[in-house]
Amino acid sequence: MTLVAGVDSSTQSCKVVIRDAETGALVRSGRAAHPDGTEVEPERWWEALQAAVADAGGLADVAALAVGGQQHGMVTLDPDGAVVRPALLWNDTRSAGAARDLVLELGDGDPEAGAAAWAKAIGSVPVASLTVTKLRWLRDAEPQNAARVAAVALPHDWLTWRLAGHGPGAGAATDAAADAAALAALTTDRSDASGTGYWSPITDGYRTDLLTLALGHDAVLPRVIGPGERAGTTPAGAVLGAGAGDNAAAALGMGMVEGDVAVSLGTSGVVSAISATSTADPSGLVTGFADATGAFLPLACTLNASRVLDAAARMLGVDHDELSTLALSAPAGADGLVLVPYLEGERTPNRPEATGALHGMRLANTTPAHLARAAVEGMLCGLADGLEALRAQGVPVRRVFLIGGGAKSEAVRQIAPAVLGVDVLVPPAGEYVADGAARQAAWALAGTVRPPEWASSSDVLTFTAQPTPHVRDQYAAVRELTATRPA
Ligand SMILES: Nc1ncnc2c1ncn2[C@@H]1O[C@H](COP(=O)(O)OP(=O)(O)O)[C@@H](O)[C@H]1O
Ligand SMILES: O=C(CO)[C@@H](O)[C@H](O)COP(=O)(O)O
């Protein structure tokens, strides 16, 4: 049996699956935690990857692997290939002002013209999550660090490069030419490149002018390779697949086709869909990313998903199962109690400086059950807005899948179809991002035009409910009413 491995280096943890290259059958798996925080030393990801691989029984018998990863994280490398400063993650909002500046600059001072120009240039309007804004923040806040930046990579690019034997401890780079060759070996793929803000899925090319606009100077960018191409090999000789952004990898792992929509409840809440055509939404609600097969992955992403449930459980002093039972014991709409879930600020809608809020409190609805219900509904309302924004871009919505850590909650499963207004399909709990990366590794190994066909589970549960538009209406009435984060 030929084995392949897939890695999901996500916000909260690193997960590894090892599968049969031919059938896709799961052979073994492992995981390790990432540190908390929105600024992380990339070396911690590398350590977690080693630990997760060890937990999965090692890679000695694995013929190929690929890495799926959290998108947008800014990994800056100096001319020697050393990390310049800790990476800023997708959910770090300190670059919100930089995002506003970049939009204004492309619009000659007019925010609407700027948003339209960015959407036309790269398919997305920059918000604090996109790498390009983090580079502008670096230029303004840490000019000495910005000046040292010789290359910019994303988490999955950097891990793939490390797996190929580059970076600290590689030992080979003894002169400037060798260092330059090492940086030139960086690779990425369309899906992750499309989240940088300086690569266009519409023209399939880098916009180095936008990189320079943000950072103040040019830098080496990872070579964008095709989804089934090889990025290289590990020192042990295993083939490295291109890797992908986590949402594109999940789509590949689930075998999504046009008309399929994934609602992912990880740290981020993501509504994403496979599309044959690129999108360019000047409102910024939908980012026009690429997928991991050569098509497109329009996506709406919130900063607040499963951790809203974590926070509600913590406030109530219960575990996730009890939170779910409580939520299901309260009526739809929680008798008017509305939780606006902007605990980390928000990205969609673009409210980086907002905080969360509880509205409509009355004696009758201030019970643990009502609070639990309001938390689940508030989180889902943000995603329902995302689904609507996707539809407004002409993206077909035929089947909606619910995945990610938060999808394990029975309350979420039952309430999602009511709030989203569509039936929701829940595939078996699994690591779909890592699965997609594993399928990509098998693809690179096979060298075929299309990825290998792996059987998908028939064990998919369907959740149906009467739509509850009043829940979204009461949410829409108050979602702007939030306090600003303390500076
Ligand atoms: N039964 C459950 N109900 C609700 N949330 C859960 C449950 N199990 C795990 N989670 C949450 O899922 C999240 C992790 O999901 P995951 O998709 O791995 O996130 P990420 O990809 O962002 O690291 C955590 O916040 C965790 O608390
Ligand atoms: O920023 C995005 C998508 O644009 C996020 O989806 C990140 O890619 C992080 O994913 P999780 O760790 O929450 O799964």
Structural tokens at position 82: 């050393």
- Nearest ligand to the C-alpha atom of residue 408: 1
What token pair was written down for 203?
């023209």
Angle at 182 between CA 176 and CA 183, to 5 degrees: 90
- Per the CB < 8 A criterion, the answer to whether 251 and 436 are in contact is yes
Select from 203, 230, 247 the last residue of a domain.
247
Residue with tokens 């890797």: 243
Q: Which two tokens stand for residue 325?
A: 């039972």
Report the pLDDT averaged over residues 232-255.
97
In a domain? residue 429: no
Residue 180 has pLDDT above 90, yes or no: no
Does residue 113 share a domain with residue 26? Answer: yes
Last residue of a domain, one of 247, 268, 288: 247
Q: What percent of the chain has pLDDT over 90?
A: 95
Query: Is-contact 431 29, C-beta < 8 A?
Result: yes
Cα-to-centroid distance, 345 and ligand 2 (Å) = 15
In a domain, 446, yes or no: no
Q: Which amino acid is at 172?
A: A
Whether residue 317 is found in the same domain as residue 406: yes
> Does the model's ipTM exceed the 0.95 cut?
yes
The encoded tokens of residue 65 equal 């692997």
Task: Decide if 447 is inside a domain.
Answer: no
Q: Nearest C-alpha to atom 6 of ligand 2 is from which residue?
A: 268
**The tokens of 399 are what?**
């089947």
Whether 448 is in a domain gets the answer no
If you average pLDDT over residues 259-271, what whole number do you get?
96
Annotated active-site residue in 8, 189, 192, 246: 246
What is the mean pLDDT of the segment spanning 444-457? 92
451 belongs to a structural domain? no
Q: Is 246 a catalytic residue?
A: yes
Q: What atom of ligand 2 comes closest to residue 129's alpha carbon?
A: 1
Confidence of residue 177 (pLDDT cuts 50, 70, 90): confident
Among protein residues, the one with the nearest Cα to ligand 1's atom 18 is 405
Q: What is the CATH number of the domain that holds 171?
A: 3.30.420.40
Residue appearing with tokens 């040019």? 218
Check residue 332 and give its pLDDT. 98
Question: If you average pLDDT over every residue of the chain, what do you get?
Answer: 96
**Predicted pLDDT at 457:** 76
217 known member of a binding site? no
User: How is residue 197 written in tokens?
Assistant: 């803000």
Q: Please tell me the distance from the alpha carbon of residue 230 to that of residue 242, in angstroms, as a whole number.
A: 6
Residues 304 and 230 in one domain: no
pLDDT computed for residue 185 by the predictor: 97
Helices 208-215 & 131-141 angle (0-180, nearest 10): 30
Q: Tell me the whole-structure pTM to 2 decimals.
A: 0.95
The count of C-alpha atoms lying within 13 angstroms of the C-alpha of 269, restricted to the half-sphere facing its C-beta, is 31
Q: Which residue's alpha carbon is nearest to atom 10 within ligand 1?
A: 405
Identity at 190, one-letter amino acid code: R
- Whether 302 lines ligand 1, by a CB cut-off of 6 Å, is no
Contact status, residue 471 vs residue 418, Cβ threshold 8 Å: yes
| 127 and 87 part of one domain | yes
Residues 224 and 261 both lie in one domain: no
Contact predicate 436/250, CB 8 Å: yes
172: pLDDT strictly greater than 70: no
pLDDT attached to residue 487: 81
pLDDT at 168: 81
- Ligand 1: residue whose CA is nearest its atom 12: 405
Over the stretch 197-221, which tens digit does the pLDDT of each residue have? 999 999 999 999 999 999 999 999 9
For residues 248 and 173, the answer to whether their CB atoms sit within 8 Å is: no
**CB proximity list for 58: less than 8 A, separation 6 or greater:** none
Which residues are bridge partners to 116 per DSSP? none
The pLDDT confidence band at residue 420, using thresholds 50, 70 and 90, is: very high
Angle of the 96-106 helix axis to the 208-215 helix axis, nearest 10 = 130
**pLDDT higher than threshold 70 for residue 173:** no
Verify that 262 and 384 share a domain, yes or no. yes
CA-nearest of 28, 23, 30, 32 to 2 is 23
- Ligand 2 neighbours, Cβ below 6 Å, are 10-11, 70-72, 90, 129, 195, 246-247, 266-268, 270, 299, 301
**Is the domain of 284 the same as that of 153?**
no
The boundaries of the domain holding residue 45 are 3-247
Rounded to an integer, the average pLDDT of 380-401 is 96
Lowest mean pLDDT among 45-49, 52-56, 172-176, 262-266: 172-176
In a domain, 289, yes or no: yes
- Residues 10-56 have pLDDT tens digits of 999 999 999 999 999 999 999 999 999 999 999 999 999 999 999 99
Tell me how far the alpha carbon of residue 305 lies from the centroid of ligand 1, in angstroms.
Answer: 9
Helix axes 306-316, 320-329, angle to 10 degrees: 90
What is the total count of domains within the chain?
2
pLDDT tens-digit series, residues 72-121: 999 999 999 999 999 999 999 999 999 999 999 999 999 999 999 999 99
State the pLDDT confidence band at 142, using cuts at 50, 70 and 90.
Answer: very high
Give, in order, the Cα–Cα distances in Å from 276 to each of 19, 152, 289, 342: 29, 29, 12, 32
Predicted confidence at residue 174, as pLDDT, reads 65
